[in-house]
């Protein structure tokens, strides 16, 4: 898989930043769960909480979602300016 130079793991994004989801590098079962939460390529999300350990809380499509750090490590995002 090739990644864009601006792509970063969701787990590295600081609180308050708005990003666009690029790719999900997850297994089939987890991909189904992510999709049901609205985490699809192209979706815009805001990082609500990321303390560098423990869960990451994001806001996607008006809903707060808590992701484990391992899950967030597998989601590739790019900066977004859309509200």
37-44 long-range contacts (CB < 8 A, ≥24 apart) are 37/63, 37/65, 38/63, 38/65, 39/65, 39/75, 44/18, 44/19, 44/20, 44/80, 44/82
Structural domains for the chain: 8-79 (2.30.30.90)
The reported pLDDT for the residue numbered 74 is 93
Q: What is the pTM of this model?
A: 0.86
The reported pLDDT for the residue numbered 15 is 96
The series of mean pLDDT values per 10 residues for the chain, 83 residues long, is 74 96 88 90 96 94 94 93 64
Rg over alpha carbons for the chain, rounded to the nearest Å, is 11
């Amino acid at each position: 898989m090739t990644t864009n130079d601006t792509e970063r793991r969701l787990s590295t994004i600081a609180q308050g930043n708005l990003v666009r989801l690029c790719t999900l590098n997850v297994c089939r079962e987890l991909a189904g769960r992510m999709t049901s939460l609205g985490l699809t390529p192209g979706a815009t999300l805001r990082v609500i909480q990321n303390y560098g350990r423990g869960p990451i809380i994001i806001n996607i499509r008006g809903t707060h979602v808590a992701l484990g750090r391992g899950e967030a490590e597998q989601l590739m995002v790019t900066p977004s300016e859309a509200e």
